[in-house]
Amino acid sequence: MLRSAILTAAGSGSRLGSTLPKALVPLDGVPLLVHAARRLLASGEVTTLVVTAPAAHVDDVRAALAGLTLPDGTPPALTVVPGGASRQASVAAGLAALPPGDGTVLVHDAARALTPPDVVARVARAVAAGHVAVTPLVPVVDSLQAVADGAFAAGHLPVGGVPTLGATPRTGLGIVQTPQGFDRATLDAAHAAARAAGVDGSDEATAATDDATLVERAGHRVHAVAGDELALKITTRRDLALATLLLADQPR
Ligand code: C5P
């Protein structure tokens, strides 16, 4: 059993078109972060949860998570802390709030609300087996083509188009999901090294958008396990509509 997990829930809901923080946006009447937390705990691998909330919504997030239980019916140890300006800063705030003594940690995005407990368990088992960094991956199904840095700055290509820089074979490429699992000292050191190098996640050009990337930059090899299409990151209204359909398709 891994015991500790950080659930990042401090993002805004702007790309979802919501005034609520994304993690509090309801999916089938239940906030995204509650879906994510329930599935983390249902894995049987997590008993301590540190949740990063938007600074103005710490109490709302705590209230949303009241009543969570472990598989044996007891409540988890739950701490809610204000997140930072970037996902990296939020994870760092979560790490700082973790109780001492546990040598491993999972880091999970509340936005991956439907991540099945099976994925959590696979990651946890790989960490328990001695891998210092573990990520779930799903295969890339589309063809890939490179364009100049910044070509997608507006979220799409300019109307007149751009030259391409060359195709990349998708074979052997995976899309990263969460939860990711870590030897805690390795993750702490990777975050410290990033901060020391002036990388705090605020600059898109240098940001590590996930923790396994930070650990890789610190010189470690990341182990991959099978992800799941249910672990999609809910970012846009389209994602929320898809998640609603996927949830309706789940056995109750
Ligand atoms: O913004 P992005 O979609 O990459 O966010 C991934 C996860 O990180 C989400 O669960 C979001 O709530 C969280 N996050 C955070 N603090 C931030 C930005 C994002 O906890 N400053």
Average pLDDT over residues 215-224: 98
Write out pLDDT tens, residues 25-43. 999 999 999 999 999 999 9
Compute the radius of gyration of the chain from its Cα atoms.
18
Secondary element (H or E) of residue 61? helix 58-65
Write out pLDDT tens, residues 117-142. 999 999 999 999 999 999 999 999 99
Q: Is 9 in the pocket of ligand 1 (CB under 6 A)?
A: yes
Percent of the chain with pLDDT over 90: 90
The pLDDT of residue 151: 95
Write out pLDDT tens, residues 88-103. 999 999 999 999 877 9
Best probe residue, ligand 1, of 109, 202, 239 (max atoms within 8 Å of C-beta): 109
The pLDDT of residue 102: 76
Per-residue confidence at 15, pLDDT binned at 50, 70, 90? confident
Closest listed residue to residue 213, CA positions, set 115, 135, 126, 116: 135
The DSSP symbol for 76 reads P
As a dihedral over the C-alpha atoms of residue 209, residue 211, residue 217, residue 219, rounded to 10 degrees, the angle is: -160
Q: What is the ipTM of this complex?
A: 0.96
- CA 189/CA 155 separation, integer angstroms: 33
Average pLDDT over residues 194-208: 91
Name the residue ranges covered by the structural domains of the chain: 3-139+173-248
Residue 115 vs residues 13, 72, 108, 171, 246: alpha-carbon distances, Å: 19, 21, 9, 24, 11
Q: What is the mean pLDDT of the chain?
A: 95
Contact 140, 173 (CB under 8 A): yes
Distance 3 CA to ligand 1 centre (A): 22
The pLDDT of residue 124: 97
Fold of the 3-139+173-248 domain? Spore Coat Polysaccharide Biosynthesis Protein SpsA; Chain A (3.90.550)
Q: Is 85 in the pocket of ligand 1 (CB under 6 A)?
A: yes
The pLDDT of residue 55: 96
E-state strands within the chain: 3-8, 26-27, 30-31, 46-53, 77-82, 104-109, 133-139, 144-146, 166-168, 174-176, 180-183, 223-226
Q: Is 55 in the pocket of ligand 1 (CB under 6 A)?
A: no
Q: Is 33 in the pocket of ligand 1 (CB under 6 A)?
A: no
Distance 108 CA to ligand 1 centre (A): 10
Average pLDDT over residues 206-226: 97
* pLDDT higher than threshold 80 for residue 252: no
Q: Is 8 in the pocket of ligand 1 (CB under 6 A)?
A: yes
Q: Is 112 in the pocket of ligand 1 (CB under 6 A)?
A: no
Best probe residue, ligand 1, of 7, 8, 80 (max atoms within 8 Å of C-beta): 8
Closest listed residue to residue 116, CA positions, set 13, 5, 247: 247
Q: Is 110 in the pocket of ligand 1 (CB under 6 A)?
A: yes
Q: Which two tokens stand for residue 126?
A: 């790989």
Distance 8 CA to ligand 1 centre (A): 6
End-to-end CA gap in the chain: 26
